[in-house]
Amino acid sequence: MTNLWAIIRKDLLEIFRARGTYFYIPGMFLMSTFFFFSYFALYGQIANEKPDVILATTRVFLNGMGYMLPMLYALFACNLSSAGLVFEKQKRSLESLMATPVSIRRIWIGKSLSATLSALAIAYGASIVAYCVIALAEVYPKVHKAIAPHGLAFLTALVLVPLTIFTISLLVSYIQLVTRNPRMGNLVYGLLLLVSWGALFLASFYLPALGISVDYYPLIFVGLIVVFGTVAYLCSRALTKEKVVLSSKG
């Protein structure tokens, strides 16, 4: 356990020390503005409605945000962190790490966890800013009522999204560990992204059409976690240090 935390701690320290991170984070926050714009477009249509309508509409919007926003940023940031693994493999500090008493599975899990954690930090940061702007700065002065997303949205944002990101991160880092070409990892990452967004998109399209409430959205995440988690488990059985060493350059 201690060395797992050591790996995560060092990775976060490294991300924090790298200059690129300080360009990346504001960039991520800037991107979240499109969420506000879509809300303000909606708000323009309901601004003159009764407070109840404003509240109900905003809550639906915030629920959706709980599902989508963390997922969106976490996925992008997860890609950034897997680039860290590729770099560590190229510089061959990974080979040294593998010669310490740490098992290859711990290294894999540690790297994926630090990717997940740094991604989530950015995602939650962006979500909190978005919530403050919409619920506190915009809606509260008008209706004088605090507004919070649905409990399921919280559950999704705090549990299901992190697990989804973690399993995706496991798969992407596995590919980065055992293949020589980092583009393979990027390809797999792109595919997982497509699958995840495809599932979410289809759900948002078909669930309401089937008369199922959008509150069942979290089930999509559960499905993704089960599928990705199973594949990651199968990968874990095939992972060896030799595979990592022989797929490294030099």
Partner 1 sequence: MAMGPASASSAIRLEGIHKHLSGRHVLDGVGFAVEQGDIFGCLGPNGAGKTTTIRIMLGLLRADAGTVTVTGRDPAEDAARARVGFLLEADGLYDDLSAWDNLDYYARLYGVRDPGGRIAEVLDGAGLADRGRDKVSAYSKGMRQRLAIARAVLHSPDVLILDEPTAGLDPGGQVEVRRMLQDLRERGTTVFLSSHNLDEMQRLCNRIVLIHGGRIRLYGDLESLAAGSGRRGAVIETSAPVPDEVLAALRQEAGVSADRDGAAVTVSGGASFEVPPVVAFLVQKGIRIEQVTKQQDSLEDLYVRIEAEARAGAAAGGAPGAGGRR
Residues interacting with partner 1, by CB under 8 A?
2-3, 5-7, 9-10, 13-14, 17-18, 91-103, 240-242, 245-246, 250
Q: Which CB atom, from 4 or from 129, has the smaller least distance to partner 1?
A: 4
CB of 185 to partner 1, least distance (A): 21
Nearest to 178, CA basis, from 112, 244, 235? 244
In 144-240, alpha helices (H): 151-155, 161-178, 182-209, 218-238
Supply the Cα-derived Rg of the chain in whole angstroms.
20
CB of 240 to partner 1, least distance (A): 8
Whichever of 144 and 237 has its CB closer to partner 1, that residue is 237
Residue 1 CA to residue 11 CA, distance in Å, equals 16
Q: How far is the CB of 86 from partner 1 (least distance, A)?
A: 15
3-state helix, strand, coil in the chain (%, to 5): 85, 0, 15
Q: Which two tokens stand for residue 185?
A: 């990892």
- Least Cβ distance, residue 179 to partner 1 (angstroms): 16
Q: Are residues 59 and 149 in contact, defined by beta-carbon separation less than 8 angstroms?
A: yes
Nearer to partner 1, 10 or 142 (CB): 10
CB closer to partner 1, 57 vs 248: 248
